[in-house]
Amino acid sequence: MSIKVGAASQELSAAYAAVTREPAGIVWNKVCVSLKRELGDAAFGSWIAPAVLRETQAGDVVLVTPTGIARDWIRRSAWRRIGELWAAGDAVGRRLDLKSRLEFEASADAASATTGAVYVEAKPQPIEIVLPVSSDIPAAAPTPTGKTSPVQGLQERFTFDSFVPGPANEFAHAVARRVASWADGHFNPVLFHGPYGFGKTHLLNALAWEAMRAAPNKRVVYLTAERFLSTFVRAVMDRQTTAFKDELRGADLLIIDDVHFIAGKQSSQEELFHTLTALVEDGRRVVFSADRPPSAMTEMDARLRSHLSAGLVCGMEPADRSLRLGILERKIEALGRAQGFTGTVRPEVLQFLADRFTDSVRELEGALNTLTARAGERLSRLSLDEVQAILRPHLRGGEKRITIDDIQKATSEHYGMKQADLLSERRNRAIARPRQAAMWLAKQLTTRSLPDIGRRFGGRDHTTVLHAVRRIEALRQDDAVLSQDLETITRKLRG
């Protein structure tokens, strides 16, 4: 009896395994989804995405990397985790091996010569990690309107409604709106450029969402330069370059974020050049973003650089104080709605954040997120001292130390005067206003007390410094020239 039960059990196990046996490609796709989330886009796109899965007719599975360097990185940094995810996802317990392309081809040749075994590519299902974001890919993602759209990767929060325009970005905003409306007479291609944290990705996402809303029958393709590179490499390895070209060149609107990453990668530059040329000649629209204008992309192929310059090159400037305040107010309202509390903070806290985080909008939003995470619904009641205490570790991290002497030198250079004039007793307006500005900067950018600042400005008392700080604070609200002077000096001091 026991023998019969054991045999039946084995038969049931075998039947279960046959039913639950998923193709290796599907299991690998599930592993990749988890890996991308855990490793991040950069590491995943550089090392994991270019690898392909192969399996023998006998059922052995091998992950094949394009180079030995990629194989070594995966073995060192991700192989244990890949093994865990593979074991959890593969119901039949197939062994997964790792080899470089050269190793794999050598072992395949040897196996074929001795046993006749043949390796074939494991057939994965198309998933987000290897495809550009296209408005006709059959997968659904939520749109800003709450409906579903066949687009992956676009961030729902980055829309024109959540974009705060101001003097620093209003031209770029107007250009993006025009492109998204499919209006005639557009420049082609359009390149938005500016350092990180200036709102380029937000603008490109907003453009894509609006373009799809305005013309649902048009085909929009959005992808980062990193995804362009990894997808192109994958297509070359899998001999699928024709499909890759058709995917991009069939777009009515192609959007590529951070195109400067492609500089120096010859074959990818060549493909992008021919894609750009084909789309422009066919009257399709192309939009790029980069961290600098084409003229500064010295590593980029000259022909591609020339084509990027041929349309409209649109620079985005650092957000000025009024724009930073507007961004903060909009962000606080959104956080309040999301977390169920009143979206307000004290005016002095708003002003501190806007004055302290001037280099990038991401840095500004990061500081606000830190406060929200720490304070929650108490955010509206936080005092300036509490805010400074919460952000103190963040403020000090890797920051250049600014001295009062640095401030005096930078202020005097900006206004074309001698540093000694700031310390003198002269009170004419041409000297007094820059002196007050330097005192205000000293209060904002250093931890020195008012009496200490006064001593370093020719032995003045703290009431003189306090008057100067209050005077500049009042004037800069309405004096655009003074506000810009303070922004310029601050940026110079922070490098």
Q: Is 201 annotated as a binding residue?
A: yes
| Same domain, residue pair 186 and 210 | yes
Residues 157, 206: Cα–Cα separation, whole Å: 9
Q: How far apart are the first and last CA of the chain?
A: 83
For the chain, the average pLDDT equals 77
| Same domain, residue pair 167 and 296 | yes
Q: If you count DSSP H runs as helices and E runs as strands, how many of each does the chain have, helices first?
A: 22, 12
Per-residue confidence (pLDDT) for residue 153, from 0 to 100 = 61
Per-residue confidence (pLDDT) for residue 114, from 0 to 100 = 54
Answer yes or no: is pLDDT of 123 > 50: no
CATH number at residue 268: 3.40.50.300
Residues 350, 333: Cα–Cα separation, whole Å: 13
Count up the domains in the chain and report the number.
4
Condensed to tens digits (0 to 9), the pLDDT of residues 7-19 reads 444 443 443 444 3
Beta bridge partners of 315: 193
What is the mean predicted confidence (pLDDT) over 86-108?
81
Q: Is 264 annotated as a binding residue?
A: no
What is the mean predicted confidence (pLDDT) over 286-313?
87
| Same domain, residue pair 417 and 386 | no
Contacts of 486 by beta carbon, 8 Å cutoff, 6+ apart: 437, 440, 441, 472, 476
What is the mean predicted confidence (pLDDT) over 243-258?
86
Domain boundary among 366, 397, 428: 397
Give the tokens for residue 334.
């959104």
Asked if the structure places residue 167 within a domain, the reply is: yes
Q: Is the dihedral of CA 452, 457, 461, 464 positive or negative?
A: negative
Q: Is 199 annotated as a binding residue?
A: yes
| Same domain, residue pair 386 and 410 | no
Answer yes or no: is pLDDT of 209 > 70: yes
Residue 417 domain boundaries: 404-494
Condensed to tens digits (0 to 9), the pLDDT of residues 423-453 reads 888 888 888 899 999 999 988 888 788 888 9
CATH number at residue 78: 3.30.300.180
| Same domain, residue pair 165 and 189 | yes
